[in-house]
Amino acid sequence: MSTKVAVVMGSKSDWATMQAAVEILQKLGVEYHTEVVSAHRTPQKLASFAEEAVSNGYGVIVAGAGGAAHLPGMIAAHTRLPVLGVPVQSKALNGMDSLLSIVQMPKGIAVGTLAIGTAGAFNAGLLACQILALNDAELAARIEDFRYTQTQAVLDNPDPSVD
Ligand code: RP5
């Protein structure tokens, strides 16, 4: 079974943000699975998902949630796999609530917290790939290529008035 990334989120309403994580996983050819797992609405499902994550072949878990965003931290409490938390931009507090809920983990249970919104979701997917690439030379080469292409695109078009 090849190592894959789980991209989970607290609600279907998070998908517009979290699909940015899937975008880079697809681009870099990493297998993934997406699913809604809510810390508050489906707490038993959260526990079993996280407890079975290693045996289900996941190497990294990307978890996005908004508001009182307990999903990444609670998943991390149930698995030793690296958990990357994405604060989804909330309507009421613009995602500051999500960010602080995810980033302020108590000592002893780690969550890597990314930026609020789609940039954070994309970077969570990218960071998941970088973690898996520690043991996957072909994936490492694809990441190098992605970075080279990104750099060249900036260098090749430095005039800010030209699209
Ligand atoms: C969180 O509550 C979800 O992650 C979502 O960001 C937020 C709002 O959920 P919905 O009310 O849109 O389902 O659990």
Question: Is residue 129 a part of any domain in this protein?
Answer: yes
The packing angle between helices 43-51 and 71-78, to 10°, is: 40
Nearest to 140 by CA among 28, 31, 60: 28
Name the residue range of residue 61's domain.
4-156
- Please give all residues whose beta carbon lies within 6 A of any atom in ligand 1, as ranges: 9-11, 13-14, 38, 40, 65-67, 88
Nearest to 66 by CA among 119, 123, 11, 20: 11
Q: Among the atoms of ligand 1, which is closest to the Cα of residue 66?
A: 6
Distance of CA 41 from the midpoint of ligand 1 (Å): 10
CATH number of the domain where residue 91 is located: 3.40.50.1970
Question: Is residue 161 a part of any domain in this protein?
Answer: no
Q: Which residues have CB under 8 Å from 34's CB, separation 6+?
A: 7, 8, 9, 18, 22
Convert the pLDDT of each residue in 99-134 to its tens digit.
Answer: 999 999 999 999 999 999 999 999 999 999 999 999
Question: Is residue 95 a part of any domain in this protein?
Answer: yes
Question: Is residue 163 a part of any domain in this protein?
Answer: no
Distance of CA 69 from the midpoint of ligand 1 (Å): 8
Convert the pLDDT of each residue in 8-22 to its tens digit.
Answer: 999 999 999 999 999
Question: Is residue 9 a part of any domain in this protein?
Answer: yes
Distance of CA 61 from the midpoint of ligand 1 (Å): 18
Residues 110, 76, 58: CA angle, nearest 5 degrees:
115
Question: Is residue 162 a part of any domain in this protein?
Answer: no
Question: Is residue 90 a part of any domain in this protein?
Answer: yes
Residue 1, pLDDT > 70, answer no
Nearest CA to ligand 1 atom 6: 66
Domains: count for the chain: 1
- pLDDT of res. 3: 83
Question: Is residue 113 a part of any domain in this protein?
Answer: yes
Convert the pLDDT of each residue in 33-67 to its tens digit.
Answer: 999 999 999 999 999 999 999 999 999 999 999 99
